[in-house]
Amino acid sequence: MLHQISNGTRREVDGTPQVYYDGYWIKYYEPPADNLEAKKQLIQALTRRLFNHVEHGLNIPGCRLNEARQAYERETDLERKRVAGAMLAGALFNRAADIFTKVVELQEAGVEITPDEALIHQCGKCLLEALELGRSVRHRSGDEGLDELWGEPFRAFSIPVEDFYKGRYLKIAQTMRHIDRIADAMVDTLAGEGFFHGIEPHIRELADAAKNKCGILRTDPMIFEVWPTFVVAGERLCRFDPELPRHASGEQTQRANQGCILIRDGVSLVQHVARARVPMPKSMRAYLERCQRFRRTAKKITRFSYRSSRVLTPRTLCQ
């Protein structure tokens, strides 16, 4: 049984190396060697990924760190100061990446670098300050911050590479569980509605594709199979046509409209979570609450015959 398998168990599944964490089998990648070059590449990749998912305008070059700090310190408006702090955090991340790059170049030139070197210490300070400032940074959707994602460059700096990879597998498993919870809520809310008869397979298709997406690296050749499947699954679900009686009441049309909005927002949330590869608990809770409200306000609508129904598309309903 799955619950008897220990976290970290590895085996071949359908010819692919997999590792087990918290109920999910995830594609396994051999961690790189634990040296400064590997840490440099990892921190750079995590920093690029971070900027790809958070709000716009934060990718400030490290050479502008002093400008960013001065702008943050002189800002008095609280809302503007939050954004200025996020920009400062971005500059700090990039400064840390700059330092690590130079340290690796010195090492490659034969200069001995030890963990207590001043440059290494300065890099750590930049990442720690960026982590503290980044707690109020929002996801690109505007819904919430991504503390887990924001802290990854610092974790990659401060712990062995192998331990970092183990932590990532655990986080991916948690992300997959969140995807399943969102999909379950969509099924529980919509599959029983006559308007959305037959929608469950489309929801499950998206959830499976999303879990596959968050379980592989972009450098994996399988990305050319996994990414199109993921994108198309979301598009198909958004195109799902609700069915209404030929002479639908205003109440029925409104309910179908609300269901279409739940579908669209559910697809968007699953896509955000899968791409970030970390849970988004605040956004998920808000979505689950919306699904519960939809179910609670359900009206007893007279069942209709599908033979006499007409199809209203999401374009018509979700204006």
pLDDT at 13: 83
Query: What secondary structure, in 3-state letters, does the chain show?
Result: CHHHCCCCCEEEECCEEEEEECCEEEECCCCCCCCHHHHHHHHHHHHHHHHHHECCCCCCCHHHHHHHHHHHHHCCCHHHHHHHHHHHHHHHHHHHHHHHHHHHHHHHCCCCCCCCCHHHHHHHHHHHHHHHHHHHCEECCCCCECHHHHCHHHHHHHCCHHHHHHHHHHHHHHHHHHHHHHHHHHHHHHCCCHHHCCCHHHHHHHHHHHHHHHCCCCCCCCHHHHHHHHHHHHHHHHCCCCEEECCCCHHHHHHHHHHHHHHHHHHHHHHHHHHHCCCCHHHHHHHHHHHHHHHHCCCCCCCCCHHHEEECCHHHHCC
Residue 152 has what pLDDT? 78
- pLDDT higher than threshold 90 for residue 44: no
Residue 251, pLDDT score? 82
pLDDT value for 317: 47
More confident residue, 155 or 161: 161
Give the mean model confidence (pLDDT) for residues 107-127: 79
Q: Is the pTM above the cut of 0.85? A: no
pLDDT digits (tens, 9 = 90+) for 251-296: 878 888 899 999 999 999 999 999 888 888 888 999 999 999 998 8
pLDDT category of residue 309 using cuts at 50, 70 and 90: very low
Average pLDDT for 227-247: 91
User: For all residues of the chain together, what is the average pLDDT?
Assistant: 84
